[in-house]
A and B are shown apart, each in its own frame.
Chain A
Amino acid sequence: MKVLSSLVLGLVMALASPVAAQERSGPLRIEITQGVIEPVPIAVAPFLAENTAASDFARQITAVVASDLVGTGLFRDVPKNAYISQVSDFNGAVAYPDWKAINVEALVTGAVTLTSDNRLVVKFRLFDIFTGAPLGEGLQFAGGTDSWRRVAHKVADQVYGRITGETGYFDSRVVYVEETGPKNARAKRLAIMDYDGANIQYLTDASSIVLAPRFSPTGDRVLFTSYESGFPQIYELAVGTVTKRALQVDAAAMTFAPRYAPNGQTVLYSRSEGGNTDIYRLDLASGQRARLTSAPSIETAPSFSPDGSQIVFESDRSGNQQLYVMPAGGGEAKRISFGQGRYGTPVWSPRGDFIAFTKQNAGRFHIGVMRTDGSNERLLTASFLDEGPTWAPNGRVLMFTRESAGAAGEPALFSVDISGRNLKRLAMPTAASDPAWSPLLP
């Protein structure tokens, strides 16, 4: 337990001071230098197939669990050919010295059964090799064979949670805009996928421009902007049935940049009339609207705090784009961004501790985070064009759009830790933009 609790401590320290080098005693050492951490070696032993029909699932589930954990950048999966002892009995004793000898710090074991009614039952255990004891109870998940990936993600979420003390984020989805065609005639359509790029499904066709989808707090609905009527208007789509409806908040004016309140019943959006853009609130049940800002400047990109009491948004009232916070009902706004450059697309962390944003400065784009009062600004990325961060359900990872420059330039989805570590591009079959991360699935 000692080792793994010091890992938890290490993570917390990493978040607080991303570039400070850390030295600690004992076998576990996390060095954070220039935002790089040494991944902790773990072993995800091949999950056992408890009947023959389960063997393919066992192999695939093992691979997804390992991929989830390694994908965080926090762990390294020790190769199977380095194992001294094999796990051949899910209930058998763990040969701790054999794992310690190859420097494994945590061992994940599992077993998969395919029942006669075609359901997968997946059991797993997690062991702390240094202390020679299980870490938490063994756990069992069951689901249909078509949900084997979700079961694997749930196992990985448990492992991640027990080792880091944070909630996992693997059993989640991302809605985004797929982009095809040349830069001056891009076709866009809404798509949804697992957080890791698997199981892509299309939600709209490519007949009109669609922008900036946003999940409801329960993940079952999506708000987005579409040019389907000929003019930009906001729509709501039910993910389960893939049915959409125009919110018809205003046929006479352009509406865009919608986002749900934490209650899922209130929607914030921007409305442009006569060239002036302000922020409005819509109650979905009653259809009642309220204007929250009233200024000749551009007010857009609103996002609620997770307790629903405040709204962060961007405005160019000072002369260029900056971030402001106002009460949920509107009223006096307080500027929170004061660094060099322009700030946009603020998004409140689901944990309430940070606001992520896009920053433009000196011809470069950055994804950054700051405390909700604007202090402790940290830039996590830099490129020709990084834009539109969205939070993982645990508030510890951001996904965003990175677009390459030039005539052949196109966007792709990237993710990065809020410490600035583990920047990576999602492997996807087409260009993609505007990701929105769902809450953790039920």
Chain B
Amino acid sequence: MTNLKLAVAATALVALGACTSADRFGPGSGGAASGGFGADGGIAGSVNDPTSPAFFNETIGDRVLFAVDQSTLSPEAQAVLDQQAVWLTQNGAYRALIEGHADEQGTTDYNLALGARRASAVQNYLISRGVAPNRLQTISYGKERPIQICSDETCYSQNRRSVTVITAGAGV
């Protein structure tokens, strides 16, 4: 048990080093390639702890995907966001930064605007499910931060995403 705790602590140190801000849990997708869903696992508590950001990132899922040029939430996306909303309402010590992203098939300006639209669609949905608006912030990265780097639909479909990044703090 002691050994396990040590391992978790070591992972946390590495992950903090790679994070873009100190109060941010989980890799999100604003930083370097993390490969996806909570690859850095233990940083924000155990996946087995339903109140942990790690649980949010990996068990619920921190992201939803979009069709080309669209910001409409699919039924699958809504199901993920329903669970995100429940988690956020039950874990009031956190807030969320919602990142909107686009794939590379588009111009920079338009993709920034499209990412903003996607992040906003997620924000509005979470608010409609009871999350306080002052706990949610949005940002668009346009096509600046792809998570998959090939140039075909298998990658594009993963890059057209919004990522709900859990951060410390009860709201602004």
* B is bound to A: yes
What is the interface of chain A, defined by CB distance below 8 A to chain B? 182-186, 209, 211-212, 230-232, 254, 256-257, 270, 272, 274-277, 298, 300-301, 314, 316, 320-321, 344-345, 358, 360, 384-385, 387-388, 403, 405-407, 409, 434
Interchain nearest-CB distance for B110 vs A (Å): 5
Closest to A253 in B: B116
Query: In the complex, are the beta carbons of B150 and A232 less than 8 A apart?
Result: no
Given known pairs A184-B33, A275-B71, A320-B69, the reply for A298 and B113 (CB within 8 Å) is: yes
Q: Which of B69, B107, B140 contacts A254 (CB 8 A)?
A: B140
Query: In the complex, are the beta carbons of B117 and A275 less than 8 A apart?
Result: yes
Q: Bound complex: CA of A385 vs CA of B120, how far in Å?
A: 27
Which of B33, B104, B141 is packed against the most chain A CB atoms within 10 Å? B104
Query: In the complex, are the beta carbons of B108 and A387 less than 8 A apart?
Result: yes
Which of B106, B109, B144 is packed against the most chain A CB atoms within 10 Å? B109
Q: Which residues of A contact B118 (CB under 8 A)?
A: 275
Q: Which of A184, A345, A407 contacts B109 (CB 8 A)?
A: A345
Q: Which residues of B contact A186 (CB under 8 A)?
A: 144
Given known pairs A185-B33, A275-B116, A300-B113, the reply for A232 and B140 (CB within 8 Å) is: yes
Query: In the complex, are the beta carbons of A388 and B139 less than 8 A apart?
Result: no
Query: In the complex, are the beta carbons of A231 and B107 less than 8 A apart?
Result: no
Query: In the complex, are the beta carbons of A345 and B31 less than 8 A apart?
Result: no
Q: Bound complex: CA of A212 vs CA of B142, how far in Å?
A: 13
Which of B110, B139, B144, B146 is packed against the most chain A CB atoms within 10 Å? B110
Whether B131 sits at the interface, judged by CB under 8 Å, is no
Q: Bound complex: CA of A434 vs CA of B143, how far in Å?
A: 14
Query: In the complex, are the beta carbons of B105 and A360 less than 8 A apart?
Result: yes
Q: Which residues of A contact B150 (CB under 8 A)?
A: 406-407
Query: In the complex, are the beta carbons of B113 and A434 less than 8 A apart?
Result: no
Q: Which residues of B contact A257 (CB under 8 A)?
A: 109, 112
Interchain nearest-CB distance for A269 vs B (Å): 10
Q: Which of A183, A272, A388, A406 contacts B107 (CB 8 A)?
A: A388
Query: In the complex, are the beta carbons of A277 and B139 less than 8 A apart?
Result: no
Interchain nearest-CB distance for A231 vs B (Å): 6
Given known pairs A184-B33, A185-B31, the reply for A272 and B112 (CB within 8 Å) is: yes
Query: In the complex, are the beta carbons of A184 and B145 less than 8 A apart?
Result: yes
Q: Bound complex: CA of A358 vs CA of B114, how far in Å?
A: 17
Q: Which of A182, A184, A231, A298 contacts B114 (CB 8 A)?
A: A298
Whether B14 sits at the interface, judged by CB under 8 Å, is no
Closest to A403 in B: B104
Query: In the complex, are the beta carbons of A211 and B108 less than 8 A apart?
Result: yes
Closest to A185 in B: B32
Query: In the complex, are the beta carbons of A314 and B32 less than 8 A apart?
Result: no
17 CB < 8 A contacts A-B: A184-B148, A211-B108, A232-B139, A254-B140, A256-B109, A256-B112, A276-B120, A277-B116, A300-B110, A301-B110, A314-B110, A344-B106, A360-B106, A360-B107, A385-B104, A387-B108, A406-B149
Interface size on B, residues (CB 8 A): 36
Q: Which residues of A contact B148 (CB under 8 A)?
A: 184
Q: Which of B33, B113, B117, B139 contacts A182 (CB 8 A)?
A: B33
Query: In the complex, are the beta carbons of B151 and A184 less than 8 A apart?
Result: no
Q: Which residues of A contact B33 (CB under 8 A)?
A: 182, 184-185
Q: Which of B104, B120, B144 contacts A275 (CB 8 A)?
A: B120
Query: In the complex, are the beta carbons of A183 and B149 less than 8 A apart?
Result: yes
Q: Bound complex: CA of A345 vs CA of B118, how far in Å?
A: 21
Query: In the complex, are the beta carbons of A182 and B151 less than 8 A apart?
Result: no
Query: In the complex, are the beta carbons of A209 and B144 less than 8 A apart?
Result: yes
Query: In the complex, are the beta carbons of A277 and B151 less than 8 A apart?
Result: no
Query: In the complex, are the beta carbons of A344 and B144 less than 8 A apart?
Result: no
Please name the 7 residue pairs, one residue from A and one from B, whose CB atoms are nearest each other, closest first.
A275-B120, A277-B113, A272-B116, A405-B151, A344-B107, A183-B149, A184-B33
Q: Bound complex: CA of A320 vs CA of B114, how far in Å?
A: 12
Q: Which residues of A contact B32 (CB under 8 A)?
A: 184-185
Query: In the complex, are the beta carbons of B117 and A298 less than 8 A apart?
Result: yes
Q: Which residues of A contact B144 (CB under 8 A)?
A: 186, 209, 211
Q: Which residues of B contact A387 (CB under 8 A)?
A: 107-108
Given contacts A314-B109, A405-B151, A409-B149, 8 further A-B contacts (CB under 8 A): A183-B146, A184-B146, A272-B112, A275-B121, A300-B109, A300-B112, A360-B106, A406-B149
Query: In the complex, are the beta carbons of A434 and B120 less than 8 A apart?
Result: no
Q: Which residues of B contact A434 (CB under 8 A)?
A: 108
Which of A275, A300, A314, A345 is packed against the most chain B CB atoms within 10 Å? A275
Closest to B118 in A: A275
Q: Which residues of A contact B105 (CB under 8 A)?
A: 360, 385
Contact with A along B84-126 (1 / 0, CB 8 A): 0000000000000000000011111110111011111101100
Query: In the complex, are the beta carbons of A358 and B107 less than 8 A apart?
Result: yes
Whether B147 sits at the interface, judged by CB under 8 Å, is yes
Q: Bound complex: CA of A384 vs CA of B106, how far in Å?
A: 11
Q: Which residues of A contact B119 (CB under 8 A)?
A: 275
Closest to B106 in A: A360
Interchain nearest-CB distance for B146 vs A (Å): 5
Interchain nearest-CB distance for A331 vs B (Å): 21
